[in-house]
Structure 1
């Protein structure tokens, strides 16, 4: 057990710290102009990094697992209740191409990083396979490749720490870019302008406070929002588990069958799809519910805190500083390829940043970023497009891992 001030099994205190710090982050963002420019999401994330790296809270706890298991699934439908349903499909089609190009950036970055460091990091063929799969898909792909290549446990642990720190740092970078004049001058950013125009209507307030103006909300609204979200999560997760059980997967079946399993067995994609179907079938019901966006955003802020917790700087310095360099090169190349291709193909800055986020962190972190930035019409599309990474990630990781093994 870690030697921290708050122990991993002190569940109520850890829950309290997460919720209180999320509340502080939201308050600061809405109260002070400087915090509004930084964004509450970054304040939440950086605060968690500081707390975990100064020994106040542990880097691993059942509380953090609960955030991933319960809070994120609930937040997703809540935040989709009031999206523009028609725009979701239009934006999904647009973002698919840039997402695939961004995935090519991950592959290129992994290859470059492998050749730079293959003589300095042991088992880099296996780690390269794991990270390329993870930085196209997500944690599911990382775990699958770690098992497939039988990577030694200590290398898996060190790579996870490097990945967590890199992801947290990259999230801060991606959240900061839309406010930088360098990028705003060179890329179209209609979603940023839309949010700023909305916020600008409320004079004398910070942009965040203006955007999250007080609304009429009743006990019935809160009950229906949370109750409906829970209902959709239960249906989606049960259906995904059932489909995952009856559709085979693995090396013994064809690419097409694996693709079907990846599509219909993924609980987040099924959840998003079922929420879309419900929105299409019962539009008046969802339009009548107030407060779902506010509740969902509060839940996402708990997620922002948890993202920063595992980013242990001392563990990286002590165990594997070169692994941080390895993943940093992959992320840098992914970012450069995404921005360059996005610029040439005339994509919006928001779309480019979200697909890069979806590659590196997965669709949930990309959706969280869209939520934090107020890019409502991009939340659904990035969840749909980002889930594709889970499907193709294992194929990319396997191919690169086997190829790298021939060079060591």
Structure 2
């Protein structure tokens, strides 16, 4: 089927997926968009447009995003991930997060044993392990590391990940009101009028070019090192490891360099737009229900195991909820939920625990895929 936007017009195709990324960011400013998440809106819109014949299923523009922008997003996200700071300031929340990551892997192994996800089952399980320990970035980078070959199945995974995560954050929001849990864990201390401090140093041109240049350099070194060691398919893992060095070793010098997270999010939204546009809706609807069931069951097992184990470690209800949020949904929602509940003391730990997930999620996802 010939699309309205020809695949040969690479710049026009890129303009379209850029517009879809913009749509996702714009959707985040609405109530419905916040519930569905901007990434889901971007990917969903791309799926609809390609299956209506507006966008092509294949294009070099999509390959450009996968080949160059996804790897560059990793250093951009991780430039401010200081491992020393994470372990010093997260306190007991990092223990709960580690338990949550472990129970996520257990949930994936259990679900794979009785749900048939098809011939790419192990790879798909690895993507969910990466995403449910890190976030959307890890889902994307793991797909590159594993060289996931089926864009339709990848889109189904993205859709299931977004919907299951949306359901879970609503569950986490009401858990502190469940009397049984407050009796078992005790009441989490709270304060009134809590807000997240969003004041940041300005993003300057110097910061942007520094981040882009450093990111490109790190990606190049990771590619060269992985090729030299005879493991070119694992370049993403080398890039991730190298990306953690600057912020950990030179934290003070990098404090004035801002905007990496913002640039990384743009790359991630473009990735979701490209993947969505590559998906065949007919096949997607056939495989999506099974993958959706898989995603929900993984989260259920994660939570069912996490809360009793965390209680045995004498962790508080708030610490467990925020750590679970950071694990499944990432750092920003974890910090936001902590603030919304009045848990001022858990805002920074939740944010840092989620960033730690960014650092380790891809490694764990690739490992799970290899083991299964």
Structure 1's 350 and 241: CA in aligned 2 closer, same or farther, altered over 3 A?
farther
Alignment partner of 1:236 is 2:212: no
- 1:226 CA displacement: 1.0
Q: From 299, 312, 316, give the equivalent of 1:335.
A: 299
- 1:242 CA displacement: 1.9
CA contact (8 A) 2:47 2:280 kept: yes
Aligned to 1:151: none
- 1:51 CA displacement: 1.6
Unaligned 5+ segments in structure 1 are: 118-123, 145-155, 202-210, 246-260, 358-365, 397-408
CA contact (8 A) 1:109 1:332 kept: no
Structure 1 distance, partners of 2:292, 2:308, is 24
CA contact (8 A) 1:78 1:292 kept: yes
1:148-174, Cα deviation, whole Å (9 max, x unpaired): xxxxxxxx86xx63x234312223224
Structure 1 distance, partners of 2:335, 2:5, is 30
- 1:314 CA displacement: 2.0
Alignment partner of 1:379 is 2:355: yes
CA contact (8 A) 1:80 1:275 kept: yes
Aligned to 1:81: 79
Normalised to the residue count of structure 1, the TM-score between the two structures is: 0.65
1:288-344, Cα deviation, whole Å (9 max, x unpaired): 213333222222222232343334322345xxx3x4444344333322211212232
Aligned to 1:266: 234
Alignment partner of 1:5 is 2:7: no
Comparing 303-312 with 46-55, which one deviates more in the overlay?
Answer: 303-312
CA contact (8 A) 1:64 1:306 kept: yes
Structure 1 distance, partners of 2:331, 2:45, is 21
Comparing 86-95 with 3-12, which one deviates more in the overlay?
Answer: 86-95
CA contact (8 A) 1:269 1:384 kept: no
Structure 2 distance, partners of 1:271, 1:141, is 11
- 1:129 CA displacement: 5.5
Aligned to 1:183: 172
- 1:12 CA displacement: 0.6
CA contact (8 A) 1:109 1:329 kept: no
Structure 2 distance, partners of 1:372, 1:20, is 27
Structure 1's 72 and 130: CA in aligned 2 closer, same or farther, altered over 3 A?
closer
Aligned to 2:24: 25
Unaligned 5+ segments in structure 2 are: 131-141, 182-189, 311-318, 338-346
Q: Number of paired residues?
A: 324
CA contact (8 A) 1:83 1:376 kept: no
1:39-80, Cα deviation, whole Å (9 max, x unpaired): 332322222222223221123322222212211221221222
Alignment partner of 1:166 is 2:156: yes
1:6-38, Cα deviation, whole Å (9 max, x unpaired): 2222211111011122223323434x4554454
CA contact (8 A) 1:98 1:338 kept: yes
Aligned to 2:208: 222
Structure 1's 14 and 221: CA in aligned 2 closer, same or farther, altered over 3 A?
same
Aligned to 1:47: 45
- 1:112 CA displacement: 1.9
CA contact (8 A) 1:45 1:308 kept: yes
Normalised to the residue count of structure 2, the TM-score between the two structures is: 0.71
Structure 2 distance, partners of 1:129, 1:274, is 27
Structure 2 distance, partners of 1:178, 1:392, is 23
1:94-146, Cα deviation, whole Å (9 max, x unpaired): 544433432232232222224xx9xxxxxx6x5555655665575478769xx
Structure 1's 59 and 269: CA in aligned 2 closer, same or farther, altered over 3 A?
same
- State the secondary structure of the residue aligned to 1:332: helix
Structure 2 distance, partners of 1:127, 1:296, is 28
Aligned to 1:249: none
Structure 1's 106 and 371: CA in aligned 2 closer, same or farther, altered over 3 A?
same
